[in-house]
Amino acid sequence: MRALALLVLLAHPAVAEEGATLFRLHCSSCHAIEPGAPAGAGPNLEGLAARGVAGDAVFDYSPALQAGREAGRRWDAASLRAFMADPDEAFPGSWMSPAGPATAAPRDAIARFLMGEGG
């Protein structure tokens, strides 16, 4: 029963909306997400689900993320959650400082927003 309630909650459109709001709050000072928008301090994150790690052609990534691209790594909700929680652990030497919310649930909402799940 509890698992079902959680599924209903996760599928609710308000969660996607919350992800967008949380993204604006925690991430948009450095990251654009609109197609074609110039990179800020961080790369444009448009279409993250469909591209590999370090996929903004005009952004100058750290060697850590460039190595991820060369290894063919891709983003998914789990890797995004881990990166938000501790960028340096997910990609040692990454130039991004921990920036996400302090707790797992809002990080998950942002990850699903970025993967376009219901967003």
Which residues would be at the binding site for ligand HEC (CB under 6 A)? 26-27, 29-31, 41-43, 45, 53-56, 61-62, 64-65, 75, 80, 83-84, 94-96, 99-100, 110
C-beta of 1 vs 41, nearer to ligand HEC: 41
Q: Which is nearer to ligand HEC, 2 or 92 (CB)?
A: 92
At 25 the three-state DSSP class reads: helix
Task: Report, in Å, the least distance between residue 10 CB and ligand HEC.
Answer: 18
- Please state, in angstroms and as integers, the Cα–Cα distance from residue 109 to each residue in 21, 84, 100, 105, following that order: 10, 12, 11, 6
Q: Which is nearer to ligand HEC, 14 or 93 (CB)?
A: 93
Query: For residues 16 and 117, is the Cβ–Cβ distance under 8 A?
Result: yes
Considering the complex, what minimum distance in angstroms separates the CB of residue 14 from ligand HEC? Answer: 19
Q: Which CA distances in Å does 28 have to 32, 35, 37, 40, 89? A: 6, 14, 12, 9, 22
